[in-house]
Amino acid sequence: MSVALRFVIIGCGKIAPRHAAEIIKQGELVAVCDTIKEKADALAAQFSTTAYYSIEDLFSNEKNIDVVSVCTPNGLHAEHSILSLMAGCNVLCEKPLCISSVDGNKMIETAKQYNKKLFVVKSTRYNPALAALKKFIEEGALGKLYNFQLNCFWNRPVLYYANSWKGSLALDGGSLYTQFSHYIDALLWILGDVANISGFRKNMAHQGVIEFEDTGIVAVEMKNGMTGGINWSVNTFQKNMEVSLTLIAEKGSIKIGGQYMNEIEFELIDNTTFKVPKDGEANDYGFYKGSMSNHDKVYENLIIALQNENHPFTHAADGFKTVETIERIYNSVSLS
C-alpha cells in the first residue's frame, strides 16, 4: 500500500479551498499558512489541519512535505515557490507562475539545483473544447491555419479590487496575468509562440483603482506565420461576457467561446464535424466568477507526473512561456 502524499498550502485566499478539496482526495493536507491569521485559521478549521502564520514556522515544524501548493498573490509566487523548493518540497504554483521572466528563471534554476519538481496550474487546458481543438489541429483536420482572434471580456468592478492586493503592479502585475493568463497559455499551447506584437492598452473605468490597463488590444504575428488579434477587457457590464478563440483555416472555421472558452459557437469544416462534450463549471467567488474549475484534473495529473517524468503535466517551462509572452506584450505596448 502506497504512503499518502503530504501537502501544505501557502496562501489561504479564495482559490485555496479549491486546492484543499482536491488535496484531501489525493493525500494528506498537513498544514496551511497565511500571514493573515484569520484566513489561515478559517481554512485550517474547514479542513481539520494545522494553521501557520509564517513560512519559516511552517518549515521549521513540518517535515517530509511532498508538495507545497502556492496560492499567494501573483507577485509572491516566485519568493514562496523558491523557499518551498529550498525546503526540499515539490511545488504546484497557481497561475501565473510569476510576473517577471527574471523571477521565472530563478524559480526554474532553484528547482534544478534542489532536484525538485516545479509545476504550474494550467486548468484551462482541461476544458474539453480546448483539448479537442488542439487534437483536431494536430491531426491536420483544419489544414493550413490562416489567422485567429482571441477575445477575453470579463467583468471586474471597482469592488473587486477593494482592500485587496489585486490592482497593484507589484502583487497583481496586470489583467493579462490575473484574469487572462490561462487564455494566453491556451493560445500558445494551441498555436505556438508569438513573434511580433503591436497595439494599445488603456485604463478606461478604473482610474485611481488599479495601476495598469483594464482594456487592451494587440495585433500579433505568430512564429508559424499566422496573424491574429488579442482583445481583452474587464469592463463588461455587470457580468462576464466571453472568452473565445476563433480560427480561420484552409479546411474550416471554428469558434470556441462561452464565458470560459468551453462551448462551440461556430464550426464549419470540410468533410467532418467538431464535437465535444460539455463539462465543468467556473470557479465561483460570490459576486464574480473566474476560469473553469478543473482543479480535480490538475491534482489527478499532478500525482501521475510526480512519478512519471514524461507525463505531459504543465511544468514550470510552460508557465514561464506564458509569463514571458505577457511581459513582452506589456513591454511592447505602453499604457496610455
Share of the chain above pLDDT 90, in %: 86
Domain ranges of the chain: 5-121, 124-293+314-332
Share of the chain above pLDDT 70, in %: 94
- pLDDT for position 310: 84
pLDDT category at 321 given cuts 50, 70, 90 is: very high
Q: Which three cell numbers stand for residue 270?
A: 470540410
3-state secondary structure the chain: CCCCEEEEEECCCCCHHHHHHHHHHHEEEEEEECCCHHHHHHHHHHCCCEEECCHHHHHHHCCCCCEEEECCCHHHHHHHHHHHHHCCCEEEECCCCCCCHHHHHHHHHHHHHCCCCEEECCHHHHCHHHHHHHHHHHCCCCCCEEEEEEEEECECCHHHHCCCCCCCCCCCCCHHHHCCHHHHHHHHHHHCCEEEEEEEEECCCCCCCCCCCCEEEEEEEECCCCEEEEEEECECCCCCCEEEEEEEECCEEEEEECCCCCEEEEEEECCECCCCCCCCCEEECCCCEEEECCHHHHHHHHHHHHHCCCCCCCEHHHHHHHHHHHHHHHHHCCEC
**Residues 197-210 pLDDT 10s:** 999 999 999 999 99
Phi and psi for 185 in degrees, rounded to 5?
-60, -45
- pLDDT for position 331: 97
- pLDDT for position 166: 96
- pLDDT for position 290: 47
Of the options 3.90.180.10, 3.40.50.720, 3.30.70.260, 3.40.50.300, the CATH number for the domain spanning 5-121: 3.40.50.720
**Residues 37-49 pLDDT 10s:** 999 999 999 999 9
| 8 A C-beta contact, residue 257 and residue 265 | yes
Domain 124-293+314-332 has CATH 3.40.50.300: no
**Residues 73-102 pLDDT 10s:** 999 999 999 999 999 999 999 999 999 999
